[in-house]
Chain A
Amino acid sequence: MTFFACENLTMRFGGLTAVNDFNLSIEEGEIVGLIGPNGAGKTTVFNMIAGYHRPTGGVIYFGGQRIDGMKANRVNRLGIARTFQNIRLFPELSVFENVLVAHHGRLKSSFFEAMLRTPRYRREEEQMYSRAEHFLAEVGLTDVAHERSGALPYGKQRRLEIARALATGPKLLLLDEPAAGMNPSETVELLELLLRLREKYGLSLLIIEHDMKFIMRICERLKVLDYGMTIAEGRPAEIQNDAKVIEAYLGEE
């Protein structure tokens, strides 16, 4: 059984083909990078996988079932979590609450039980608190737990978004430009964090990133998109010397 696979994925917006015939399979525990110039269709691929766009054509398999066209919240509960290119936290909620809410999708108690605080709800709530405390500690944000998340500095917001995604209990994590706007030392910290989390939770990662040093170091395999088409695929070292990739990034000679 394939862990995750896209087959012939296509997305058209009116006359514009944003993604054309995209194929990708990911093994359990693998880290795959998705790169390409701006407007290549990388985020569109993410949106299709995560349930924000219904693909015009093609299928997506995850854990033995088709997930293309499913709503985002269902995709998440099946085990695919994502972060966003321009961080999307709940700015008015505290850092702690941002992670707490990520547990809500797996809550079994009905709102009625929550209102009456039945023993089952209280048990689930305890679990929710422990998990949130755990994941905040995991990304090192325990000391700012009660601050308004919108007031955090940029790098910490990025880490909080990862903690929140992690708290939904994913098997596959989609990261949309996680290192954007980070300074070199923060980028190194992020790299170490992601590798540690992958090890600890048995995650697979699919990463979009423009920071080439970062993506070359973290990924085992890369996929290069340009104008919605896959132009290259392979190990980082191979990609670096691929003529088509260099052309897409730097233009023709």
Chain B
Amino acid sequence: MELRNNRKMNRRDRLLSLTTTAVFLFLLFLADRFGSDYETRILINCAIFIGLAVSYNLINGVTGQFSLAPNAFAAIGAYTSALLTMTPLEKELSFIVKPLIWPLSVIHAPFIISLLIAGLVTAFMAFLMGFPVFRVRGDYLAIVTLGFGEVVRVVANNAQSITNGPLGLKGIVNYTDMAWSWGFAVITVFLIYRLVQSSYGLALKAIRYDETASEAVGVDTFRHKMLAFTVSAFFGGVGGGILAHFITTISPNLFTFFLTFNLLIIIVIGGLGSTTGAVIAAFMVTLGGELLRVVEEPLFIGGLHIPGIPGMRMVIFSLILILVMIFARHGIMGSQEFSWRWAIEKVESFRRPKGGDA
């Protein structure tokens, strides 16, 4: 018996994946073509959150290191890429309190280059953060990373000659469209999924379950945690850049703990450690958040008039979260991944009558 077959994608699986992706992208294309502006904006938002959540899940879910710094990564990425794509004239007009420091004030780069640089800068910052962060574990690690998130925000608020302080950056070109955002989401999911399925992914999961035992089988736990953190930061930074060119105005307040909190909800609902789960949950949370807007508008139910209550959708949202935690503690997918083998077996077990000979 070849045990490996259970872990490997065969031809059929690959074909099915490609077809599904193609169909999905075609549907997105249709939505882009015929959907309203509001609808495409929701879909773009959705794509950005998928990319951010999947990359956050790599360190938090797969590797089990409870980082609370994805807002810092998104912030660094957003500022870096925005400062690169803005023209020198725009920058001069924006920075009214203190002028922008020299090399940044004249650099001007195309969008794709700015995204890559944003990713690299963020990854480098994560690499530096990693040294103090991975000296501690568990709750302490959460607190240290939370601190870093705040430090980045406070720096953004005060380093006026780089970030323009609380005024933020305005007039960023709206480069992000359906193609950019979904391109980012698909590439991020693809590469991170590949990494998680590889030998490296196994080592990261091993660290999640037992660090001592991982060391005993030759896994350099520090190096691998650093690796997951840096890769996660790279995609987080690129995501931040995409986000900046979508909302076109960024300020330190955009990257508070609330962003981290949203991403955390997504990966917990999806199932910590499951890339598939993170994708599904990012969809649900971003689309669901929009659909639930209904409850904030005045309603008539059976002659009863309910005035719109602002904030009501967050209440319902929290209720859903509580229900998930009670009835599906491990999230939608647990730590499992979607596989075609599993899906086909499920379909076949439905078709076959129960108790019949298989």
Contact = CB atoms under 8 A, between A and B. Distances in A.
A66 interface: no
Contacts of B218: 73, 76-77, 102, 104-106, 168
A67 B231 CA distance: 32
A164 interface: yes
Interface string A107-127: 101010011110001001100
A179 interface: no
Interface in B114-131: none
A124 B202 CA distance: 14
A117 B231 CA distance: 17
B230 to A, nearest CB: 10
Nearest to B194: A115
B4 A133 contact: yes
Nearest to A106: B218
Contacts of B213: 84, 88-90
* Interface residues of chain A: helix, strand, loop or mixed (majority): helix
A145 interface: yes
B220 interface: yes
A103 interface: yes
Interface in A106-154: 106-107, 109, 111, 114-117, 121, 124-125, 128-129, 132-133, 136, 142, 145-146
Interface string B196-230: 00111011011001101111111111000001000
A62 interface: no
Interface stretch (A10-18, A91-99, A221-229): A91-99
B202 A104 contact: yes
B215 A76 contact: yes
Interface of B: 1-4, 6-7, 191, 194-195, 198-200, 202-203, 205-206, 209-210, 212-221, 227, 231, 335
Given A73-B219, A104-B217, 10 more contacts: A76-B216, A76-B218, A81-B216, A93-B209, A103-B199, A104-B199, A105-B217, A114-B200, A133-B3, A145-B6
25 contacts: A73-B220, A73-B221, A77-B218, A88-B210, A88-B216, A89-B213, A90-B214, A92-B209, A96-B7, A97-B205, A100-B199, A101-B202, A102-B218, A103-B199, A104-B202, A104-B218, A104-B219, A105-B217, A105-B219, A111-B227, A114-B198, A115-B195, A117-B194, A121-B198, A128-B199
